[in-house]
Structures are given as structure tokens and as C-alpha cells.
Amino acid sequence: GRVLLQWATAFSQTNGSQLSSWVSSRPNESIVSFIGIDVDYERVECANAALRVAREQGHIHPAVQVSFHCTNALDATDLYANVTVFFLYLIPRGLRILHPHLPRTARCILTYMSPLPDRTPIQRELVPVPHQPGAAWPLHLYSNRIDNVARAI
């Protein structure tokens, strides 16, 4: 949840004035949605707690939808059928299984640690790991819509 919240926060801060204009004209719609799915209940609860704090502190714009769910992603395709940013933290086998089921609506797909099979990322960054000083793990960015990627980052 930590990396997903960092991206949602960065998106909110970078696009704050545009998001406010959007909300004025479409008050009941979100402009972008981030979703996290994990099979580990404690990780999901931790992510939801961090999300509440980020919202309370105004780090995530109200027009940016963020949610975390405890479930198997293959059993919950309805949760992410219309997401615009898809973040995956799976081992390579999990990525191979889930990759064909990813929604076409996703503007961009992020994978943490492992790359998607048979796809070349448009960007790769190393993300510092707070609980392991000096460590940094790879984050891969893929685009389904090249023209929207710069705005999504």
C-alpha cells in the first residue's frame, strides 16, 4: 500500500488545480482510481489505515479514488474492471497468471519487484525501502495509453 499511496499523493499534488476544476464541473465523479488487492488481511488493514491518515492530512485529493481490498485478484475482477492505474506486487508466476486479465481501462500498470512477462516498461525506478536502510526495489511502469502516462505520474 505504501508505494500506491505515494503515487496517489504525487498525482494529487501535481494535478491539484486541475483536479479542483474537475470536481467543480463533475462533483460526483472521480478522475482517477487506484486500487490495491492483497490476500493478506493485515497488510490491507495497514494500507487502509495509512490511506485514512493521508486523506485526513489532505495529501490525496477528494477526486482521486483509492481503495484496498483483501481478496484474490482473480476472484475479484469486478473490483478493478474500470481502474485507471493498476499496481501489482506479485511474484513472476502471479504476474503471468494475472497479466491476461488486466483491464483495458488501465492507463498505466505498475509492478513492484518483478516485471510483467513479455512487456517492456516505459519507465523503471528504484524505490527506497524504509524498513531496510540502503535498500531500493524496482518499480516498473507500463502504459496502455502512452498519451496519458505523463499525466498519471
113 alpha carbon, distance to own chain's centre:
14
Query: What is the model's pLDDT at position 24?
Result: 54
Q: Is the pTM of this model over 0.85?
A: no
Domain of residue 34, residue span: 2-152
CATH for 146: 3.40.50
Q: Is the pLDDT of residue 15 over 90?
A: no
Q: What does the DSSP assignment read for 12-66?
A: HHHTHHHHHHHHHH-TT--SEEEEEEES-HHHHHHHHHHHHHHHHTT-S-TTEEE
Contacts with 125 (C-beta within 8 Å, 6 or more apart), sequence order: 138, 139, 141
Count of domains for the chain: 1
Smallest CA-to-CA distance from 116 within 137, 147, 93 is with 93
pLDDT number for residue 125 = 92
Q: Tell me: the pLDDT tens digits for 49-100?
A: 999 999 999 998 887 888 899 999 889 888 888 777 777 888 888 888 988 8
Phi-psi region of 82 (alpha: psi -120 to 50; beta: other; left: phi over 0): alpha
Q: Is 132 exposed, middle or buried (0-12, 13-18, 19+ CB in 10 A)?
A: exposed
